[in-house]
Amino acid sequence: MAAGREYCTRTISIVLRGAAMNSKTEKLLSVLKLQPVVPVLVVDDAASAVPLARALVAGGLKAIEITLRTPAALEAVRRVANEVEGAVAGAGTILNAAQFDQAVAAGAQFIVSPGSTPDLLDAAALSAVPLLPGAATASEAMVLREHGYEVLKFFPAEQAGGAAYLKALSSPLAGTLFCPTGGISLANARDYLTLPNVVCVGGSWVAPKELVAREDWAGITRLAAEAAALKG
Ligand SMILES: O=C(O)C(=O)C[C@H](O)[C@H](O)COP(=O)(O)O
């Protein structure tokens, strides 16, 4: 009896997790497919986040990841979510459940993490906002697949083995899609975008600190447009 009940509970929880995840996967894919490159931002001043996000949207990059690496980050997510028409505000560098909840409360529509932890996955399972968790090895990806994740961030992409490494995962991990991030630029983005298991790439190169400091929004729109025109 006990074994039967345990089997049932496990089956129900796997089915529920799968069902919940599928709609979240669709939501996540609809965001990631908006553009070939997701800009990764480190925002020092929340006030600059709005013109910066407007410049990126004007160049064709709507989904924007604001990393929780600065004290201004949550306010930046809030402002971009509320004030920038056409932007899809996301939060990155989410390391734990508390940050996940704070980012969602600030209005983040997708959450990105460099890796995953059991606590973070529990928080994500309770939320309607999709998580793009990081993985750098086949084993990490397999654990996330068991949790129902079909789209993962490959991080740090260049340092972990680059496009050749990710290509080698495409056949054994068929069905899993990646957004490689880390060390990607205009020069090597296409190496990833042409892979069958890549949905988009992420990168900070479209919003260089010098251009933000100079408030060169037109320059950022140019970089965004160049990135938005990349094809797989
Ligand atoms: O911590 C996260 O959640 C991240 O998003 C990490 C970033 O993806 C990379 O730091 C961006 O890498 P670069 O484009 O090489 O600057």
Marked catalytic residue, from 24, 62, 65, 158: 65
Domain housing 215: 2-228
* Ligand 1 mean position, distance from CA 93 (Å): 8
pTM of the predicted structure, to 2 decimals: 0.91
* Ligand 1 mean position, distance from CA 18 (Å): 28
Contact call for residues 116 and 144 (beta carbons, < 8 A): yes
Cβ of 39 below 6 Å from ligand 1: no
Looking at the predicted structure, is the pLDDT value of residue 22 above 90? no
- Check: complex ipTM more than 0.90: yes
- Is residue 140 annotated as part of the catalytic site, yes or no? no
The Cα–Cα gap between 222 and 186 comes to 12
Task: Give the residue whose CA is nearest to atom 14 of ligand 1.
Answer: 203
The Cα–Cα gap between 213 and 169 comes to 39
Total domains in the fold of the chain: 1
Condensed to tens digits (0 to 9), the pLDDT of residues 41-100 reads 999 999 999 999 999 999 999 999 999 999 999 999 999 999 999 999 999 999 999 999
- Is residue 231 annotated as part of the catalytic site, yes or no? no
The Cα–Cα gap between 195 and 19 comes to 28
Assign residue 102 the CATH number of its domain.
3.20.20.70
